[in-house]
Amino acid sequence: MHKPIIVITGAAQRVGLTLALDLQQAGYQVVASYRSERPGLAQLKAAGVLTYQCDLTDLNSLADFISQLQQLGPLRALIHNASDWRKDPPATADSLLAQLQAEAESFDYLQQIHARTPYLLNRALQPQLQLSEQADIIQLSDFVASVGSSKHIAYAASKAALENLTLSFARQFAPKIKVNTIAPALLMFNAGDAEEYKQQALQKSLLQCEPGAQEVVTAVRYILDSRYLTGRVLALDGGRHLNLP
């Protein structure tokens, strides 16, 4: 391949889809992973994006995905976008063991998606990233990693672990590979979100807007263009951290 290659995990919908289409249009060869069939896959394939099905929580599936990537040659960037906004399990009256099992399964799953998979992919693909003149690892975190969440405790903890990986990999992979994280707050609503919920969510930030997926695209382009940014978490939160009572 003559185009610089960028790998994006979880790119079949929402932010990942927008990012993959934008970077493909910008002249990169994007390679996108997806877990299950999504309407966005047709858009990716039509644009020339290479798509691979992969369950990132399954080591056999992940190993197959890595083997396919290792055949592509040097990598310009690896973007960890795959995510799951899963609430903590509700309390159950069944039994203590059942409650512990449900909570442990949820916690372990979120750690696998948000921390274990990036850790494994970063290490496995380091040789290919080092073959590029300039290379980047970009990880997508979340505003709640820095402030916690009352309903998504395990999710917030897994994103905090991802942000910590940024520090370690930035130190280990320098100076050849830059490693940074983007931590958005609200970017875009889901279809069917109630108007009351939307207004409450918008009030949480100073800028009170729904910026959309393009905000992440702009941040990714900035990181790719920079030659002096590594080991940082770039906040995209509309001033939410300052919207104090």
pLDDT of the residue at 93: 67
Residue 77 to residue 95: CA distance in whole angstroms: 46
pTM of the model: 0.94
Residue 52 to residue 10: CA distance in whole angstroms: 10
Residue 175 to residue 76: CA distance in whole angstroms: 14
The mean pLDDT of 141-149, rounded to a whole number, is 94
pLDDT of the residue at 245: 62
Local confidence band at 94 (pLDDT 50, 70, 90 cut-offs): confident
Residue 30 CA to its chain's centroid (Å):
15
Q: Which helix H or strand E contains 18, and what residues bound it?
A: helix 14-25
Res 92 pLDDT > 80? no
Three-state DSSP class for residue 5 = strand
Specify whether the CB–CB gap between 104 and 50 falls below 8 A. Answer: no
For residue range 68-78, what is the model confidence (pLDDT) as tens digits? 999 999 999 99
pLDDT of the residue at 78: 98
Domains contained in the chain, CATH given: 5-242 (3.40.50.720)
**Among 52, 119, 155, 197, which one carries the catalytic annotation?**
155
Res 1 pLDDT > 80? no
**Residue 77 φ then ψ, to 5°:** -160, 155
pLDDT of the residue at 200: 85
Specify whether the CB–CB gap between 178 and 137 falls below 8 A. Answer: yes
pLDDT of the residue at 34: 96
Res 101 pLDDT > 70? yes
For residue range 179-206, what is the model confidence (pLDDT) as tens digits? 999 999 988 887 778 888 788 888 888 8
Res 244 pLDDT > 80? no
pLDDT of the residue at 22: 98
Short-list 205, 43, 69, CA closest to 125: 69
Asked about 222 being catalytic, the answer comes back as: no
Mean pLDDT computed over every residue of the chain: 94
Specify whether the CB–CB gap between 56 and 35 falls below 8 A. Answer: yes
For residue range 20-60, what is the model confidence (pLDDT) as tens digits? 999 999 999 999 999 988 889 999 999 999 999 999 999 99
Res 224 pLDDT > 80? yes
Residue 208 to residue 143: CA distance in whole angstroms: 15
